[in-house]
Chain A
């Protein structure tokens, strides 16, 4: 059973001085998933990813990544994972291809040049392969950075805010890339603070102030939200709160029958963003009440 888990975290805690960055994180990620780690800036996403790649040490709790302890089996784990940090973290005076070649060479790949070409093609940068990174746009640098994480074909990709600060078209392209990789069997853990992106994930965890508030599928989360039906009849407006609107809406409208006096019906469902914010606010209220 545990062989199917790419990531298993139990009670993971991390402090930086007096700041508690992670307060007992429990999380499991199944192999082959796109798993979203959603939270505001400073919620603990990057810290958690740094613990997963073994770049930092947890103060308490246990972590297993692809069956390895990230600190004890660093070398073995790092052959299997691809990591894209939040900053581009590239050698700016080297070309895109040189960057990919350098990061790929750590893995002793026999078909490195071929793989570099394939990866550059995948991130749509073949035309700029021989240009120094410092001549590329911000979005292109993000693509080079993604390429560096992918070049050795890792089985687990850990992406820290890969779409931060890039335009909508490129964001969409990135998610297409992630979906292609997941279809090929790569497990992807991606952190983001952009709520509209979570619909692309198979599963997601909402993290706030170092704690996981909930773990669920985007569909289930959406169902946690409320919808409101507003009915205008003879100049009067009536509101109906709907918990599960695919089921409750027909019931609510049933009361009106085919009333010719109904001028207009408006339906507003909570967005995922509003649901997530609601969860964060609820958690803040609960912790404040303790």
Chain B
């Protein structure tokens, strides 16, 4: 147990050291979501219809941006580890799949913490949203949780790509449909039954459900089912990632 924790922290330390050396990766993770959030602001700002209330869309879209970028970057990093054979080498050298997955998760959680905070602050400022500190903290928690789950999903899905280029089809296959299946654009109830079932397989569905309630002056307690489902979803993906993480390409 102690040995496993030591190895997990060793992976975390290694990933954080890599991040320190890789400023471009940090820029992608932190600046790109801010830039996309700003484009979102310009887009919504252009709507001159006074009946349009952007608050229903702002945070779910913000969550989508975080989900998209975190998922893609994590999947690419893991595929790169496999292609470079550092993954095989780490495993042969005594690290376990659990050590590696948790180590990555811990290290990237620090990034997710900053990333979610920046996006939330920017959206609140740009759209001049006036929410209580409690609501903002709850929104932040959901975004952070989604970022961590997106990493787990990225690690799991990396198993299905042989090289970095093969991560790209995940965008039209998984990420883009999740916009329409999660209730960001259209209420999930209006979708056909099969699409409603499919929507349960995207973490964005649970996050959007909670975020809609929060911006409608609800609390986390009002969405306890979704709030439980979101970490369960993450846990299931983590277990899947643990048992499917291949040693070699």
* CB under 8 Å from chain A, chain B span 1-29: 3, 6-7, 10, 13-14, 17-18, 21-22
Min CB distance B83 to A, Å, is 9
Contacts of A56 in B (CB 8 A): 247-248
* CB under 8 Å from chain A, chain B span 72-129: 84-86, 88-96
Question: Does A105 make an interface contact (CB < 8 A)?
Answer: yes
State whether A98 touches B84 (Cβ < 8 A).
no
From the candidates A55, A94, A105, A148, name the one contacting B91 in the complex (CB within 8 A). Answer: A55
* CB under 8 Å from chain B, chain A span 58-117: 75, 78-79, 81, 83, 85, 87, 89-94, 98, 102-103, 105-108
Contacts of B7 in A (CB 8 A): 105-106
Contacts of A54 in B (CB 8 A): 92
State whether A98 touches B17 (Cβ < 8 A).
yes
Min CB distance A46 to B, Å, is 10
User: How far apart are the CA atoms of A107 and B22 in the complex, in Å?
Assistant: 27
User: How far apart are the CA atoms of A148 and B7 in the complex, in Å?
Assistant: 16
Contacts of B248 in A (CB 8 A): 50, 55-56
Beyond A78-B92, A83-B93, A98-B14, is A105–B6 a contact (Cβ under 8 Å)? yes
Question: Does A188 make an interface contact (CB < 8 A)?
Answer: no
Contacts of B21 in A (CB 8 A): 93-94, 132
* CB under 8 Å from chain A, chain B span 216-249: 247-248
From the candidates B18, B85, B96, name the one contacting A87 in the complex (CB within 8 A). Answer: B85
Question: Does A12 make an interface contact (CB < 8 A)?
Answer: no
Min CB distance B3 to A, Å, is 6
Beyond A56-B248, A91-B18, A94-B18, is A106–B94 a contact (Cβ under 8 Å)? yes
Produce 1/0 per residue, B34-75, CB < 8 A to A.
000000000000000000000000000000000000000000
From the candidates B14, B84, B89, name the one contacting A94 in the complex (CB within 8 A). Answer: B14
Contacts of B92 in A (CB 8 A): 53-55, 78, 81, 83
User: How far apart are the CA atoms of A79 and B92 in the complex, in Å?
Assistant: 9
Task: Write the chain A residue with the least CB distance to B25.
Answer: A93
User: How far apart are the CA atoms of A32 and B17 in the complex, in Å?
Assistant: 37
Min CB distance B7 to A, Å, is 6
State whether A106 touches B95 (Cβ < 8 A).
yes
State whether B10 touches A91 (Cβ < 8 A).
no
Contacts of B96 in A (CB 8 A): 75
State whether A85 touches B85 (Cβ < 8 A).
yes
User: How far apart are the CA atoms of A255 and B184 in the complex, in Å?
Assistant: 99
User: How far apart are the CA atoms of A93 and B20 in the complex, in Å?
Assistant: 9
Task: Write the chain B residue with the least CB distance to A53.
Answer: B92
State whether B84 touches A87 (Cβ < 8 A).
yes
Contacts of B17 in A (CB 8 A): 94, 98
Min CB distance B227 to A, Å, is 37
Beyond A55-B92, A78-B94, A132-B21, is A106–B85 a contact (Cβ under 8 Å)? no
From the candidates A50, A85, A89, A102, name the one contacting B10 in the complex (CB within 8 A). Answer: A102
User: How far apart are the CA atoms of A78 and B21 in the complex, in Å?
Assistant: 29
Task: Write the chain A residue with the least CB distance to B20.
Answer: A93
User: How far apart are the CA atoms of A175 and B22 in the complex, in Å?
Assistant: 35
Contacts of B22 in A (CB 8 A): 93
User: How far apart are the CA atoms of A81 and B92 in the complex, in Å?
Assistant: 8
State whether B93 touches A78 (Cβ < 8 A).
yes
User: How far apart are the CA atoms of A85 and B93 in the complex, in Å?
Assistant: 11
State whether B14 touches A91 (Cβ < 8 A).
yes
Task: Write the chain A residue with the least CB distance to B7.
Answer: A106
User: How far apart are the CA atoms of A89 and B93 in the complex, in Å?
Assistant: 12
Task: Write the chain B residue with the least CB distance to A145.
Answer: B89
Contacts of A50 in B (CB 8 A): 248
State whether A106 touches B86 (Cβ < 8 A).
no
Contacts of A92 in B (CB 8 A): 84
Contacts of A91 in B (CB 8 A): 14, 18, 86
User: How far apart are the CA atoms of A106 and B3 in the complex, in Å?
Assistant: 9
State whether B247 touches A55 (Cβ < 8 A).
yes
Contacts of A103 in B (CB 8 A): 89-90, 93
State whether A89 touches B6 (Cβ < 8 A).
no
Min CB distance B36 to A, Å, is 26
Q: 4 nearest interchain CB pairs?
A: A106-B94, A93-B21, A89-B85, A105-B10
A sample of 5 cross-chain residue pairs with beta-carbon separation below 8 angstroms, ordered by A number, consists of A87-B84, A89-B85, A89-B86, A93-B22, A98-B14
Known contacts A87-B85, A89-B88, A106-B95; 15 additional CB pairs below 8 A are A56-B247, A83-B89, A85-B89, A87-B84, A90-B86, A91-B14, A91-B86, A92-B84, A93-B18, A93-B21, A94-B14, A103-B93, A106-B7, A106-B93, A108-B6
